[in-house]
Structure 1
Amino acid sequence: MIQHTDVVVVGGGQAGLAAGYHLRRQGLDFVILDAEASPGGSWQHMWDSLHLFSPADHSSLPGRLMSAQAGETYPDAGHVVDYLADYEKRYDLPVQHGAHVGAVRRDADRLLVVADAGTWRAKAVISATGTWTRPFLPAVPGLFTGRQLHTVNYRSPADFAGQRVIVVGGGNSGAQIAADLALDANVQVTWATQRPPRFLADDIDGRALFDVATARRRALDAGRTDTGGVASLGDIVAVPPVRAARDAGLLEAKPMFSRLTADGARWDDGSQSGADAIIWCTGFRPALSHLAPLNLRGPRGHIPTDGTRALGEPRLHLLGYGDWTGPASATLIGVGRPARDAAREIAQLS
C-alpha cells in the first residue's frame, strides 16, 4: 500500500532533523526515513577520541542549544549523539529508524519513495543522506597484503598496539587520526599527504570557519570576488590533540607514496616504509544512489542545485552534503539556514 504525505525526508541525521524542525514550522505533513537503527546519524560511528571543532553553544541545530559537556570545551561524538537523540524526541519528529530508501522515482506530479519499510508518494523529497556511507579510496598501484581501513573503520590506538601504521590524508580526519596514533608510544606512525599539511592558526575553530564560509557564499551570491573561503586559511583545524602531536614533532608528513608494496609503501625516491596497517583518510562521496532513477547526476557525482533545490527536479532538495547544498551545510550549526530555505520553498509547491 502506498502512503501519502507532503514531504519525505531521506536521512535522520543532523540535516534530516533540521529539515523536520522547519517542515513542522511550515505546517507540512512529513516523514523522516533513516537507515540507522538508532538516533545520532553518523556521529554514532566516529572514532573514540573525536571532538567537535566548536564549543557546544556554537554546534546547535535550530530551536535548541546543545548543552555544554562537563569537563570539555569541545564536546565529543557521544555527546552529539545524545543531543541528536534528545532533539528528535523533544520535537517529536516522525523518524522511522531502520528504514532504508532504495529509490526515488517520478510519479506524475509527485515523487515516489521506495523503502524497505514501505512506499510513500509525496509532493517533495529532501535528501539528507550525507556522505559517511560512501568512503572514497584512491587507486594506487601495487598490492599491500596487510590490513587496510578507511576513516569509517578507525576507533582507537589500542587496535594497533605494537604495529606500524601508515595514515594517508592531509585533511582533518587524517591529521586527527595520525595524532591519535602518534601520541601513543606503542604505535609507529607514518603520515603521508598529497601536499604539505596546512594547519590553521591555533585560535581558529569552528566558529570562525562558519563565519568565513558564510561570508564567501554571500560574496559569490552578490557577484563579488571569491575570497577562497575556509580553503584560503588552511586545511587542518589545530584541535588540542593535533596541536600536541604537532608541537612534539610527531606530525611530520611525508609526500604521498607512489605505490604499495606487499609489506608497506614505496616513494618516488626509492625509500620505503613497512606497515602492518594502512588507514585511508581520503574523504567521502555523497550518498545519492537512491536518486539514480531521477537521472540528475552532474560533474563529480554532484547533482546541480540552486540553493538546495535540484535544477533538474524542482520537487527534490538536497541538504547537508557540503557547500554546494548551502554554506557550511554539512555542519551542525550551518545546516539550519538551508533547511529553513528548503522548507519554505516546498511549502510554496502546489
Structure 2
Amino acid sequence: MRDTAIIGAGPAGLAAAHALKQRGLPYTHLERNAGVGGLWDIDAPGSPMYESAHFISSKTLSAFPGFPMPDDYPDYPSHRQILAYLRGFAEANQLIDGIELGTAVERVERIPDGYRVTRADGRATDHAQVIVASGVQWIPQIIDIPGDYSGEIRHTVTYRSAAELEGRRVLIVGGGNSGADIACDAARSADRAAISLRRGYHFIPKHVFGMPSDVFSTRGPTMPIWLEQRVFGALLRLINGDVTRLGLPRPDHKVFETHPLMNSQLLHHLGQGDITARPGIAATEGTTVTFTDGSTEDVDLILLATGYRHEVPYARELLGEGPHPDLYLTAFARHPGLYGLGFVETNGAAYVVMAQLAAMIAQHIEDRTARPDSWDEFERIIATDEPDLSRGIRFIDSPRHTGYVEMTAITRYLHRTARRMSWSLP
C-alpha cells in the first residue's frame, strides 16, 4: 500500500505526522527548511516572524491535546518559546527522524489512484494520499500605494526587529495583530511613527481581571452569540473607552466579526503620542503621504501589514487560486485522498482544532482500506455537506475572512461528524 505524503513540518505538519503515527499509518514527511517549526522559526528563509511576536492565544488553551506548554512559560509565549515547544513536541513523539529536511516540493499532481509529489531537485514519488501542511503566511498580499511615492516600501514579511526602524519616519499600513505589534515597535524606536487604518477595530486586551482573555471568555456560561457580542462589546467599551478619542476610526462591525486584535499596547502608545493614527491613504508625492481626511505625513518607510494570500503554489490546480483553498471543514479537499491542514482561520486556539482535524484525516485514511463503506460515506458527505460554521456571526468581507470559522461552531461540528463516522477525537 502506498503511503501518505505530508508537506510541511510546522504545527500542522507535526500534528498530521503524530496522528498518522499513532494509528500506525506509513507516511513520507517533507520539509523545505533545515528544521521543524514552520513560520515560528525566525531564521527560516521567508519566515514572517519578528522579534516582538508572541502568541495571541494563551498557553492554557493553545497547546496540543496531551502535551501542555511548560509551566514556566508566560501566559502568552514568545515566538522562540513556541518554536521550542513545537520542537519538543516533535522530539517527544519521535517525529524528527521521519522528516526529510531541506526538501522543497515543486509540484503535486493527480495520477491514477493517488498523487505524484515532485521535489525541487526533480525527484518524484507516488502516494495514495497527500496532506498539504505548508502553512499560509508565506506569500505576502501586496497592495498598490496610490501616487508617486519615492521612499521605501516593504511588506512586513521582511521585518525582523525594531532596530530596523531607528532613525526612520515610519508608516504602518494595516491593522492586524502583526501590524499592531510592529506599530508598537515603531512607537518606541522610530523617529516618527504613524499607522494607517481604513476601518476601526475592537481592541481586546490580553488579560481581563488578571486572567488571559480566552480563559476568561470560557469560564462564563455559554450565551447566544448576539448576547455575547453585546456583553463583550460593552466590556471592551468599559475597558478601552471611546477609541476614536485616539484618532482611530470607529469600528464598522460588531465584536467577533473580525479576527481578534489582541493588542492594547497600541492604545497606550496612541494615548502617549508615540504614534499617530491616520485613515486610509489617498495619495502620495515624494515622501509625503496624504490621507483620506486631508492630513499628511512625511515618511521614508512604508511597511505593509496587509496580510497573506492563502495559496499553495505547488498545488494550485488541485486547491485553486482563490483567497482560501476550497476545503470541507477546512481540511478535506474535493479530490479523494487530498487534505489541507493548517488552513483553519478561527477566533480561538488553532492547535487544538489542528490536532482534531489531523485525527479525523488519519481515521479517514485508515477507513480507505479498513472500512471502505465508511470511506465512501464520508466522500459523499464532503461532496454534499455545506455546514454553517459561523455561529451566526457575520464576518466582515475581506480575503482573510473567506473561509473563516467560529471556534465553538467548528469544534461542535467536528465532534458531531466524528460521532457520525465512529471516529475518536483528542
Conservation of the 8 A alpha-carbon contact between 1:258 and 1:266: yes
Conservation of the 8 A alpha-carbon contact between 1:166 and 1:279: yes
Conservation of the 8 A alpha-carbon contact between 1:34 and 1:99: yes
SS in structure 2 of the partner of residue 174 of structure 1: helix
Q: Which moved more, 1:104-113 or 1:330-339?
A: 330-339
Change (3 A) 1:57 1:122: same
In structure 2, the partner of 1:188 is 192
Q: d(CA) in 1 for partners of 2:216 and 2:14?
A: 23
Higher relative contact order (CA 8 A, sep 6+): 1
Out of 316, 326, 329, the position equivalent to 1:303 is 326
Report whether the alignment pairs 1:163 with 2:160: no
Residue 40 of structure 1, CA deviation: 1.7
- How far does the alpha carbon of each residue in 1:209-229 deviate from its partner, in whole angstroms, 9 at most, with x for none? 9969xx99xx9xxxxxxxx99
Report whether the alignment pairs 1:32 with 2:29: yes
Which of 1 and 2 has greater Rg? 2
Aligned residue pairs total: 328
Conservation of the 8 A alpha-carbon contact between 1:69 and 1:79: no
Amino acid at match of 1:280: L
- How far does the alpha carbon of each residue in 1:260-304 deviate from its partner, in whole angstroms, 9 at most, with x for none? 33214222344321111111111111131111243x427535224
Q: Which moved more, 1:241-250 or 1:313-322?
A: 241-250
Change (3 A) 1:92 1:291: same
TM-score (norm 1): 0.83
Change (3 A) 1:255 1:188: same
- For structure 2, the residue ranges without an aligned partner over 5 or more in a row are 43-48, 226-252, 370-426
Report whether the alignment pairs 1:13 with 2:38: no
In structure 2, the partner of 1:278 is 302
Report whether the alignment pairs 1:317 with 2:342: no
In structure 1, the partner of 2:231 is none
Q: d(CA) in 1 for partners of 2:353 and 2:275?
A: 30
SS in structure 1 of the partner of residue 350 of structure 2: coil
Conservation of the 8 A alpha-carbon contact between 2:64 and 2:352: yes
Q: Which moved more, 1:35-44 or 1:143-152?
A: 143-152
Q: d(CA) in 1 for partners of 2:349 and 2:28?
A: 21
Counterparts in 2 of 1:1-350, with a 5 A limit? Answer: 5-45=2-42, 46-69=49-72, 72-93=74-95, 94-116=98-120, 118-184=123-189, 186-201=190-205, 203=207, 205=212, 207=214, 231-232=256-257, 235-238=260-263, 241-242=265-266, 244-250=268-274, 252-294=276-318, 296-297=319-320, 299-311=322-334, 313-323=335-345, 331-350=350-369
RMSD: 3.0
Conservation of the 8 A alpha-carbon contact between 2:193 and 2:276: no
Residue 7 of structure 1, CA deviation: 0.6
- How far does the alpha carbon of each residue in 1:169-215 deviate from its partner, in whole angstroms, 9 at most, with x for none? 1111111110121133x431110012123212553657359969xx9
Residue 108 of structure 1, CA deviation: 0.5
Residue 16 of structure 1, CA deviation: 0.4
Residue 349 of structure 1, CA deviation: 1.9
Conservation of the 8 A alpha-carbon contact between 2:170 and 2:192: yes
SS in structure 1 of the partner of residue 356 of structure 2: helix
Change (3 A) 1:5 1:337: same
Conservation of the 8 A alpha-carbon contact between 1:34 and 1:95: yes
Change (3 A) 1:16 1:234: closer
SS in structure 2 of the partner of residue 335 of structure 1: helix
Amino acid at match of 1:89: E
- For structure 1, the residue ranges without an aligned partner over 5 or more in a row are 220-227
Structure ranking higher in strand proportion? 1
TM-score (norm 2): 0.69
Amino acid at match of 1:15: A
SS in structure 2 of the partner of residue 231 of structure 1: coil
SS in structure 1 of the partner of residue 19 of structure 2: helix
Q: d(CA) in 1 for partners of 2:213 and 2:17?
A: 24
Q: d(CA) in 1 for partners of 2:119 and 2:205?
A: 45
Conservation of the 8 A alpha-carbon contact between 1:196 and 1:255: no
Q: d(CA) in 2 for partners of 1:347 and 1:301?
A: 27
In structure 1, the partner of 2:380 is none
Conservation of the 8 A alpha-carbon contact between 1:328 and 1:334: no
Residue 245 of structure 1, CA deviation: 2.5
